[in-house]
């Protein structure tokens, strides 16, 4: 028994039941429908194969770019953290310096901030 199936119709043919001529005519009709469908499928696969190949290569490029951007982000984040640490260290040093300056008595600050007078000029101790 020979069974030929297609999505739309199922043809079962037995050699003994039909004449050889009608069997081959029936078979020819099936093949006439089948071959164009296979060609169309092949054409569609070729078209999509190009699309899949292009998409695959684009994906590889995008993955590489993503990796580069990730590394760049990690580097900039690390630099940002280091900059924040340096800024905090400088801020701490500044606050310590201001604290030390605030402990200096006002008389001493006035003595050093006024204009040099005649006594300093005589001794040569100008600032």
Closest CA relative to residue 112, chosen from 104, 121, 122: 104
For 26: left if phi > 0, alpha if psi spans -120 to 50, otherwise beta; the answer is alpha
Q: Are 14 and 2 in contact (CB under 8 A)?
A: yes
pLDDT at 20: 57
Report pTM: 0.37
Dihedral (Cα; 54, 55, 59, 61), 10-degree rounding: 20
Q: For residue 33, what are its two tokens?
A: 């429908």
pLDDT winner (highest mean) among 44-53, 54-63, 82-91, 117-126: 82-91
Mean pLDDT over 101-114 rounds to 88
pLDDT at 1: 36
Read off the pLDDT of residues 3-24 as tens digits, 9 standing for 90 and up. Answer: 444 433 444 444 444 455 677 7
Q: In the chain, pLDDT over 70 holds for what percent of residues?
A: 73
- How deeply is 74 buried, as exposed, middle or buried, from its count of CB atoms within 10 A (0-12, 13-18, 19+)? exposed
Q: H or E stretch including 5?
A: strand 2-5
Mean pLDDT over 37-53 rounds to 84
């Amino acid at each position: 028994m020979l069974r030929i199936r297609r999505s739309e119709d199922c043809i079962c043919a037995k050699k003994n039941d039909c004449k050889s001529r009608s069997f081959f005519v029936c078979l020819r009709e099936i093949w006439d429908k089948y071959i164009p469908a296979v060609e169309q499928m092949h054409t569609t696969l070729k078209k999509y194969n190009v699309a899949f190949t292009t998409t695959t290569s684009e994906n590889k490029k995008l993955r590489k770019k993503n990796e580069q951007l990730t590394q760049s982000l990690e580097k900039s984040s690390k630099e940002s953290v280091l900059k924040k640490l340096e800024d905090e260290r400088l801020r701490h040093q500044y606050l310590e310096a201001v604290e030390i300056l605030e402990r200096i008595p006002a008389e001493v600050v006035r003595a050093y901030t006024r204009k040099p007078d005649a006594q300093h000029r005589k001794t040569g101790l100008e600032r």
